[in-house]
Amino acid sequence: MKQGKLIVIEGINGCGKGTQLSYLVDLIHGTNKSNTIFVTREPNDFDENGRKAREMLKSDGDPYENAQKAVGYFAKNRGAHNQIFVPMLEKGIHVISDRYWHSNFAFQGAQGVSYKDVAVANRTFRIPDLTMILDVPVEVAFARLNYRDGKSRRKFDSDKDFLNEVRYRYLNLRDVLQEWLKDKNILLINGNQSTEAVQRDVRSAYDSFYSMPPSKAKRV
């Protein structure tokens, strides 16, 4: 039986992940109507660790607090998540996740946690087949969040300097993850375009990745 693919959509809040995830689902269904897709996210409510992580993300306060605790919550929740979706992949079901371990390398890395510590906590989990990181400047992300949420700010959306550090880490994530977790199939996509233009780049990235060796995949 042909294995399903694990595809991850990543980026700072306000980058357009939700919109492009929905588009990607339609795209995969459109290429083959028999494709079955499981759409999920991290952190999730599959265990208590995921619920604790979500509460931490919803809170306000210092974005640099509780970094090591966050790594633990996310990793344990990812273990529960893997137990659910890995059997699906083995049955040929495609899995699309809104965030995965890339967020921990970016956000908890910006909090001061070493890449080694994040890697050790995640080294037993399934490596994604493809990750698309939507990149937007922090000022653009803040404008979108203002439009969506008003002036209220959650913990990791409250400090522009912090988010700039997160963005920097996303931009350099391919080399980091290839070194620490052998996760190398990562594409950067310019999210600071019209929705339609980003969709064209998502389609191009998806089509290019699955029609050529991963080593030839490139930034869109």
Q: For 32-52, what is each residue's pLDDT tens digit?
A: 888 999 999 999 999 999 999
* Residue 78 is assigned to a structural domain of this protein: yes
142: number of Cβ within 10 Å = 18
pLDDT, position 116:
97
Q: Alpha helix locations (H) across 32-159?
A: 48-58, 67-90, 101-103, 109-111, 115-122, 138-149
Q: pTM for the full model?
A: 0.92
pLDDT of residue 158: 77
CB 158 within 8 A of CB 180: no
Burial of 81-113, coded b for 16+ CB within 10 Å and e otherwise, reads beeebeebbeeebbbbbbbbbbbbbbbbbbbeb
Structure-token match 């991963």, residue found? 214
- How high is the pLDDT of residue 64? 85
The pLDDT of residue 125: 98
pLDDT value for 110: 95
Residue span of the structural domain in which 79 resides: 6-216
Say if 1 falls within a structural domain: no
Domain count, the chain: 1
Range 176-206 burial, b when 16+ CB lie within 10 A, else e: bbeebbebebbbbbebbeeeeebbebbeebb
* Domain annotation covers residue 147: yes
Which pLDDT score, from 0 to 100, does residue 145 have?
Answer: 86
- Does a structural domain hold residue 128? yes
CB-CB contact of 134 with 88 (8 Å)? no
Residues of the chain with pLDDT under 70: 150-153, 211-220
CATH at residue 51: 3.40.50.300
- Give the Cα separation of 22 and 98 in Å (integer): 10
For residue 219, what pLDDT is reported?
47
Cβ of 139: how many Cβ atoms within 10 Å?
12
**Placement of tokens 């996760």 in the chain:** 183
pLDDT score of 147: 78
